Amino acid sequence: MGFKQAVNEAMLMLAREGALFVGQSVAYDGATMYHTLAGVPQEQRLEVPVLEDFQLGFCLGLSLVRKAPIVSIYPRMDFLLLAANQLVSHLDRFCEMGEFRPKVIVRTRVAPKQPLNAGPQHCNDYTNAFASMLRNVRVVKLEKAEDVMSTYERALRSAESSLVVEANGDTS
CATH code: domain of residue 22: 3.40.50.970
Q: Is residue 66 part of a domain?
A: yes
Q: Reply yes or no on whether the pLDDT at 116 is more than 70.
A: no
Q: Is residue 172 part of a domain?
A: no
* Cα 110–Cα 116–Cα 118 angle in degrees, nearest 5: 55
Q: Is residue 12 part of a domain?
A: yes
* Number of domains, the chain: 1
Q: Cis peptide leading into 115, omega within 30 of 0?
A: yes
Q: How far apart are CA 14 and CA 22, in angstroms?
A: 13
Range of the domain at 135: 3-166
Q: Is residue 171 part of a domain?
A: no
> pLDDT digits over 119-132, tens only?
666 768 889 999 99
Phi-psi region of 14 (alpha: psi -120 to 50; beta: other; left: phi over 0): alpha
Q: Is residue 150 part of a domain?
A: yes
Helix or strand holding residue 73 (H, E): strand 70-74
Q: Is residue 147 part of a domain?
A: yes
Residue 22: per-residue pLDDT: 96
Q: Is residue 22 part of a domain?
A: yes
Q: Is residue 120 part of a domain?
A: yes
> pLDDT digits over 45-85, tens only?
999 998 999 999 999 999 988 777 899 999 888 999 999 99
* Cα 110–Cα 28–Cα 8 angle in degrees, nearest 5: 55
